[in-house]
Amino acid sequence: MFGFIGVGQAGGSVADEAMKRGFHSVAINYSLSDLNSLVNVQDKLHLVGTEGVGKERSVAAKHMKNNWESSIEFIKNTMEKPSVQVIFVVFSAAGGTGSGVAPILLELLNECLTHKTIVAVPILPDSNEVLVNQMNSLELLEDLSMPETCVLPLDNQMVLSKYDGKISETRLYKETNKMFLDLIEVLLNYTDRGSKISTLDRKDLNQLFDTPGIMTIAQTDLNEFTNEGKYFDKLHDDIQKSWNNSIFTPVEFENVMRAGVILDVHEFLTEHISYNELFNVFDNKMPLDLFKGHYDKGNRAITILSGLTWINERMKQLDDLIETGNTEMKETTVYKARNRRREDLFKPKKLENKESKKTSYMEALKKLKR
């Protein structure tokens, strides 16, 4: 059901691990050496024009004018498998190739693979990464901020916090990739399980991933409740807290369009779940659509929220890091986005209906002139 397109070095690493786990995966990169380092992915596209882009998003985008046709042909040839319904496009927000190519590629994919569900998975940097990485990420998020697709922002900062900041950079990246793919596998496994009460099937999961806007996926350990060590009135609080304590960027509580809730607990605990209370932290109080799966072999809840408001707070964090970094650099260093009106950069973005935002190839290619 799931396929992976890894763009750039970071995306390629995720695709390589996904292929190892049995997911159909391909990789795209300007760097031939990065492509050659992938041991599991067999389908690779070497973009022409430059051997790497040195973290320059504009260079990556510029050279797509000579690569967009071959990219579409490559993806059509490799991702048209009927078994692949949802395609994750994974890339680093901080680098050059992924950050520069992905926004263009996503628009082209939405145009030429209309029968597939496309999910953008930008990998955001932790606060220890260099200034240019933070700058690239802020610009990338601005490019994606009126999404036609589901955006699932994998966040190295959130993974780093789980280790109290005491983890090497190399291990951090591996752990982020592992946790992400572990979670995707868990979701798929539940869609194959039966239930006496209700199931969350693959069609439900597809609809969640087909919702434009920010998505998050979170797990909550319910052992303390099933062992009667915790009062049931804390149940909703714990699940709500998990939404801002996952491996994805913390959510903002304006609107939630769709939600999926997997309760894998003894039946008696499900009786203490009130969905009205669970979602009352959102301004719209309840999602427009809710998919439920009730199972009884474990002690956890998994929540999938989609169509969430854009991650403006995360963009502000990036901007603050950039502003701090710029004051410590030479005056000749100019951040091109610094003079943008902050109220425009961070104003809430309203979601549009996916069908009303169809773009053409030429529309996407306008971005190449930047």
Domains of the chain: 2-187 (3.40.50.1440), 193-308 (3.30.1330.150)
* Cβ neighbours of residue 205 closer than 8 Å, sequence gap 6 or more: 1, 86, 187, 188, 191, 260, 291, 304
Residue 355 pLDDT: 44
Tokens 């991650």 correspond to: 311
Average pLDDT over residues 164-169: 90
**From CA 159, how far away is CA 247, in angstroms rounded?**
6
Q: How many other CB atoms sit within 10 Å of the CB of residue 227?
A: 9
Residue 345 pLDDT: 41
The pLDDT-based confidence of 350 (bands split at 50, 70, 90) is: very low
Average pLDDT in the chain: 86
Q: Is the dihedral of CA 17, 19, 24, 29 positive or negative?
A: positive
The pLDDT-based confidence of 349 (bands split at 50, 70, 90) is: very low
Residue 161 pLDDT: 94
The pLDDT-based confidence of 323 (bands split at 50, 70, 90) is: confident
* 31-40, 91-100, 348-357: least confidently modelled range: 348-357
Task: State the maximum Cα–Cα separation within the chain, in Å, rounded to a whole number.
Answer: 66
**From CA 77, how far away is CA 74, in angstroms rounded?**
5
Residue-wise pLDDT tens digits, 76-125: 899 988 889 999 999 999 988 999 999 999 998 988 888 999 999 999 99
206 by Cβ neighbours in 10 Å (0-12 / 13-18 / 19+) ranks as middle
List the end-to-end C-alpha distance of the chain, in Å, as a whole number. Answer: 36
The pLDDT-based confidence of 334 (bands split at 50, 70, 90) is: very low
Residue-wise pLDDT tens digits, 211-260: 999 999 999 988 776 555 455 668 899 999 999 999 999 999 999 999 99
Residue 336 pLDDT: 39
Q: How many other CB atoms sit within 10 Å of the CB of residue 357?
A: 15
> What is the DSSP secondary-structure string of 297-321?
SSSEEEEEEEEEPP-HHHHHHHHHH
For residue 180, which phi and psi values (nearest 5 degrees)? -65, -50
Residue 327 pLDDT: 59
pLDDT above 80 (res 314): yes
The pLDDT-based confidence of 335 (bands split at 50, 70, 90) is: very low
The pLDDT-based confidence of 58 (bands split at 50, 70, 90) is: confident
Residue 359 pLDDT: 46
pLDDT above 60 (res 34): yes
Q: Which two tokens stand for residue 194?
A: 């039966």
Which residues sit opposite 198 in a β-bridge? 294
What does the DSSP 8-state code read for residue 2?
A: E
Percentage of the chain exceeding pLDDT 90:
63
Residue 366 pLDDT: 56
pLDDT above 50 (res 42): yes
pTM: 0.88
More confident call, 197 vs 326: 197
∠ CA(339), CA(341), CA(344), 5° rounding? Answer: 140
More confident call, 279 vs 60: 279
